[in-house]
Amino acid sequence: MSAGVARPLITVYSEKNEPTGQTVTLPAVFKAPIRPDVVNFVHQNLSKNHRQPYAVSKDAGHQTSAESWGTGRAVARIPRVRGGGTHRSGQGAFGNMCRAGRMFAPTRVWRRWHRRVNVNQRRYAMVSAIAASSVPALVMSKGHMIQDVPEFPLVVSDKIQEYKKTKQATIFLHRIKAWNDIMKVYKSRRWRAGKGKMRNRRRIQRRGPLVVYGKDRGLTKAFRNIPGVELLPVSKLNLLKLAPGGHVGRFVIWTESAFKKLDALYGSWKTKSALKTGYSLPSPKMANTDLARLLKSEEFRKVLRRPHPLRASYQAQVEPPDQQAHDVETEPVRPGSDPIRRHFRGEEKAEARSGARQETRPPRAPRLRDCTEDQQGAQGSSSQAEGQEQGGQETNQGRQEGGRCSSVPARQEGGQGCGEGG
C-alpha cells in the first residue's frame, strides 16, 4: 500500500498546477486489494467481445467433380478429378493435402467468439485497476513518465472540463508536468511489423495518460487529437482502457467531480454502493502483507508453542552451522517419513557397526610389500651371502633389531628378510 493510499486527504490542483486549497477525502476504492490475476483474466475475456466472425466459404475446395479410383491402381485413394484432355484431370481433389483442396477443419461463423464474465468478477477487476492506478511504483513500472507529477493520485479542478481547444489541453499537460508522458508516446510511434499494415492498423504507439471526467463540456474535443491520451466518463469506466493489456498501473488524471463520485459508485466496506445494487468493496485476504515483520513480531512469538526437542536436534544435524533456525517452528516430522533423517540415521548405524568390527578384529600383520625397497635390497644381499639357513637366522635377528617388520616371515627362496634394512 503506497504512501498516497495511506494519506486520508488528497489535494486538488488547478489547471495552473497550483493547490486550490481544497482537499478531497480519499475514496475507499483506492484501498481495495490489487489482484493482477483477476484483472488479467477479466481483460482477456472482455477483449474477445469485439471480435467479428470470420470463416472460409462452405463450398471452398469442393467445387469440382472428383471420385476416388479405388485400390489396385498403384495410386493413392484420394478422390481424383474426372475427365481428360487437360492436366487437371486425374489430379487429387477435396483433401487438405491436395492443391486447390479445402483446409482441414474449415472455420465456421458459429464459433463461440464472445465470452461471458460474471458481474462480480468484472467489478473486482475494476476496483483493483483503480487501486493500482494510485501506486506510483506500479504506474512507473508500466513506463509512464510521472517523475515530476506533483501528487498521486492526481486530482485537478473541474475547469478543464470546459476546454474546447487542443491548445488549452496542451498547455494544461505542460503545466501539470504530464507532457513527458506525451513525448514518450511521440517517440514510440512506428510502423507495425506484420500484415496488420494492410488491414488499417498501420501505426502503433505507446499509451499516454487517461483523463477521467464527470461531465463533458467540450473536454473530449480538446484532448482527442493528442496522441496517447484517452478519455472516459467516471460512470462508464472501461477495464480495457484502465488496465491496457491486462496489466494494472495506468496513469490516470481525475477531475474533482469524478473523484468525488467514486464513493457513490463503489461504496466502502461499511456502506454499500449507492449506484450498484447490493455491491460493496471486496475485503483483502490480509490487512498487513509484511510477512517478515509479522513472523518476527512479539505478538506472534508469545502465542507459539515451544519447539519440539526432537525437531531441534534434527535441525542441528541437517542445517549448516551458519544457518539460523527459523523463528516460527512447524510441527515435527515423523522420523520414518523424513528421507533426510533416515539418511543420517543410516550413517550413524554404519559408523557404529564399523567401530565394533575394528574393536573385535585382531590387528593385521603387515605384509612384505609394506616394507620399503631399501629394506628389501639390504635383506636380499645378506641372505644371498650366507645361504638359506643362515639367512633365516639373520632375518630373525633383523626383526628383533629393526622392530618395524618383526612379524614378517623370511622368504625361503632367497632368504630375504626386512630386519636389517633401515
337 in the same domain as 375: no
Q: What pLDDT score was predicted for residue 349?
A: 81
376 in the same domain as 342: no
387 in the same domain as 352: no
Q: What pLDDT score was predicted for residue 402?
A: 47
Sequence-ordered list of residues with C-beta below 8 angstroms from that of 278, at least 6 positions apart, any chain: 272
pLDDT tens for residues 279-313?
A: 999 998 888 888 888 888 998 888 888 777 776 66
Which residue type is seen at 198? M
Which ranges of the chain have pLDDT less than 50? 1-5, 323-329, 391, 394-395, 398, 400-422
Give yes or no for a contact between 250 and 210, defined as CB atoms under 8 angstroms apart: yes
Q: What pLDDT score was predicted for residue 361?
A: 61
Please report which residue ranges of 253-338 form alpha helices under DSSP H. Answer: 256-260, 262-266, 291-295, 298-303, 309-318
Q: What pLDDT score was predicted for residue 328?
A: 47
Return the bridge partners of 253, or none: 154, 211
376 in the same domain as 344: no
Q: Is residue 149 part of a domain?
A: yes
Number of separate domains in the chain = 3
Q: What is the CATH number of the domain that holds 231?
A: 3.40.1370.10
Q: Is residue 248 part of a domain?
A: yes
327 in the same domain as 210: no
Q: What pLDDT score was predicted for residue 309?
A: 73
**What's the Cα-to-Cα distance from 355 to each of 96, 343, 388, rounded to whole Å?**
76, 19, 43
Q: What pLDDT score was predicted for residue 2?
A: 43
Q: Is residue 24 part of a domain?
A: yes
In the sheet where 19-25 sits, what is the strand order?
19-25, 9-13, 154-156, 252-255, 210-213, 230-233
Cell of 359: 574393536
Q: What pLDDT score was predicted for residue 58?
A: 94
231 in the same domain as 188: yes
3-state secondary structure of 313: helix
Q: What pLDDT score was predicted for residue 344?
A: 74
The string of DSSP letters for 222-258 reads: HHTTSTT-EEEEGGG--HHHHSGGG-----EEEEHHH
Q: What pLDDT score was predicted for residue 289?
A: 81
Of the residues 360, 391, 406, the one at which a domain ends = 360
310 in the same domain as 164: no
385 in the same domain as 331: no
How far is C-alpha 63 from the geometric centre of its chain's CA atoms?
Answer: 51
Of the residues 341, 360, 379, the one at which a domain ends = 360
Q: Is residue 8 part of a domain?
A: yes
Give yes or no for a contact between 252 and 10, defined as CB atoms under 8 angstroms apart: no
Give yes or no for a contact between 165 and 222, defined as CB atoms under 8 angstroms apart: yes
346 in the same domain as 303: yes
123 in the same domain as 34: yes
* Full domain range(s) for residue 340: 293-360
* SS3 of the chain: helix, strand, coil, percent, to 5: 40, 10, 50
Q: Is residue 321 part of a domain?
A: yes
Query: CA torsion angle for 167, 173, 176, 182 (degrees, to 10)?
Result: -160
The DSSP secondary-structure symbol of 410 reads P
243 in the same domain as 156: yes
209 in the same domain as 136: yes
Query: CA torsion angle for 213, 219, 225, 231 (degrees, to 10)?
Result: 10
Q: What pLDDT score was predicted for residue 304?
A: 84
The string of DSSP letters for 128-168 reads: HHHHHTT-HHHHHHTT---TT-SSSSEEE-GGGGG--SHHH
Q: Is residue 127 part of a domain?
A: yes
Q: Global pTM?
A: 0.68
Q: What pLDDT score was predicted for residue 19?
A: 93
Q: Is residue 412 part of a domain?
A: yes
Q: Is residue 380 part of a domain?
A: yes
Of the residues 213, 231, 266, the one at which a domain ends = 266
Which residue type is seen at 283? S
